[in-house]
Amino acid sequence: MPGILPIKKLLIANRGEIALRILRATKEMGIRSVAVHSTADGNAMHVRLADESVCIGPPSAAESYLNAAAILSAAEITGAEAIHPGYGFLAENADFAQMVIEHGFIFVGPTPEHIRMMGDKVTAKAAVAQAGIPTVPGSEGAITDDETAFATAERIGYPVLIKAAAGGGGRGMSVVHARSELAAALRSTRNEARAGFGDERVYLEKYLDHPRHIELQVMADRYGHVVHMGERDCSLQRRHQKIVEESPSPVITETERRAIGKTVVQALEKLGYLGAGTIEFLYQDGQFYFIEMNTRIQVEHPVTEMVTGIDLVREQISVAMGHPLSVTQDQIRIEGHAIECRINAEDPKTMIPQPGKIIAYHPPGGPGVRVDSAIYSGYTVPPYYDSLIAKLIVHDKDRDRCIARLERSLAEFVIDGIPSSIPLLRAILAEPDFRESRYDTGWLERFLAAPPGS
């Protein structure tokens, strides 16, 4: 086939469960793998299982997993042809993607132009709106003066949300309930954005008071084909960060799924997108409102894999090589139900990260159970990185059976030596609101503030 760039060796520019997830795909595809690691990760599972590994720096992420020069040198000396960035770290850094390409490697991901466009929430919103995707009502572009802020807030109505153009990870957002709070909130969000992201631009959005977070998984090849693989409902969040994700969403209909899927596919065809991507929406009162697009594989991608049977990482690598998509839209079927729980090394009450040594580790098993994790008995969770240590994903015929399977899997799960969020997940699963799917993005915060029996 014309234009195929074979990948025989791939460098994984990440750590933890996602590094292992990518490594598994490379093994099954007959591609040799190169792991990179900091001095704190010499014993990590992705390093142990990779064909080759290169130490790229000290524990601090800035000097290792974010060190583009060290990663490119590692690719050079090992003779890798391609680099997969995973999620987090350099995954959405357009300059890094550009450098990878300029050094003659394949970047497993979208073009630097699309990463740049979507990485800035202001340009992203404008671009997708132009391509026909519905967005949250708000300011046109960044707000630079108080006059425009007041006028916009009057137009869309309070409460409004001030968001940082460069924001991410649930940071750089503040809700404003009344006109009297707006000027001060603008100032403080700008300061926070400047300090946190080195970019003080902010914009205004209507604050939705009971939304669900529903996102669409898409995949595109170099030949202009784009498919969507249904949605993930990620409404269970703490501090705007996802804790439990499921597919399909219990609150949308097949007609709504088809309609939003079609809108998204047409928009991405127009934009000429390549690779895996997620279009995130808030959904309230039957309407979808775009909030952002992530130009990478997501933490919660396994729920989509479980209901579609498609290996998303394999597909990413395959389209990066120049192969056409392995499926057409008509061939994609959503079968049964899948739910993922994120398990963090943290105190289940205070939710403060608690790294340390794992004394015993026994993951659950049996039908429909998948555990994506890079930990093992005797492993020490280092304090330098994200506290996510495992993802438990289960699949079954329908949502009720899926929840039953999840409960028995969480009960089987043994992680001794450090505290984890397993008790919190079990408490959430026991709640009638969760079981009956009556929750929005604010539910978990309210539950944590006033747990039953408190």
Which DSSP string do the residues of 52-105 spell out, in sequence order? EEEEEE-SSGGGTTT-HHHHHHHHHHHT-SEEE--SSTTTT-HHHHHHHHHTTP
Q: Does 280 bind ligand ADP (CB under 6 A)?
A: yes
Q: Which one among 282, 343, 369, 424 touches ligand ADP, defined by CB under 6 A? A: 282
Pairing of strands 360-362, 414-416: antiparallel
In degrees rounded to 5, what are phi and psi of residue 10?
Answer: -125, 135
In degrees rounded to 5, what are phi and psi of residue 380?
Answer: -105, 120
**What is the three-class DSSP state of 197?**
helix
Distances (CA, A) of 274 to 111, 156, 264, 265: 7, 34, 14, 12
- How far is residue 409 CA from its own chain's centroid? 23
User: Rule CB under 6 A: which of 349-388 touch ligand ADP?
Assistant: none
**What token pair was written down for 360?**
């015993």
**The one segment of 22-30, 164-172, 178-186, 445-453 that binds ligand ADP by CB under 6 A:** 164-172
Nearer to ligand ADP, 167 or 419 (CB): 167
Distance CA 268, CA 253 (A): 22
Report the amino acid identity of residue 24.
R
Residue numbers annotated as active site = 296
**What token pair was written down for 8?**
């025989």
Q: Does 167 bind ligand ADP (CB under 6 A)?
A: yes
Strand partners, 37: 55
Q: Does 240 bind ligand ADP (CB under 6 A)?
A: yes
Nearer to ligand ADP, 100 or 208 (CB): 208
User: Rule CB under 6 A: which of 393-422 touch ligand ADP?
Assistant: none
DSSP letter at 251 equals T
Q: Which one among 58, 168, 324, 417 touches ligand ADP, defined by CB under 6 A? A: 168
Kindly state the smallest distance separating residue 138's Cβ from ligand ADP, in Å: 8
**What is the three-class DSSP state of 152?**
helix
Q: Which one among 17, 41, 292, 300 touches ligand ADP, defined by CB under 6 A? A: 292
Site track for ligand ADP across 186-225, x = CB under 6 A:
-------------------xxxx--x-x------------
Which DSSP string do the residues of 352-366 spell out, in sequence order? -B--EE-SEEE---S
Kindly state the smallest distance separating residue 135's Cβ from ligand ADP, in Å: 10
Kindly state the smallest distance separating residue 306's Cβ from ligand ADP, in Å: 22
Q: Which one among 86, 421, 441, 447 touches ligand ADP, defined by CB under 6 A? A: 441
Q: Which one among 64, 111, 152, 237 touches ligand ADP, defined by CB under 6 A? A: 237
Nearer to ligand ADP, 136 or 220 (CB): 136
User: Rule CB under 6 A: which of 123-162 touch ligand ADP?
Assistant: 136, 161
Nearer to ligand ADP, 43 or 287 (CB): 287
Kindly state the smallest distance separating residue 27's Cβ from ligand ADP, in Å: 32
Which residue sits closest to ligand ADP, CB atoms considered? 441
Handedness of CA 327, 331, 334, 338 (dihedral sign): negative
Contact 315, 297 (CB under 8 A): no
The site for ligand ADP, by CB under 6 A, has a size of 19
List of residues contacting ligand ADP (CB under 6 A): 136, 161, 167-170, 205-208, 211, 213, 237, 240, 280, 282, 291-292, 441
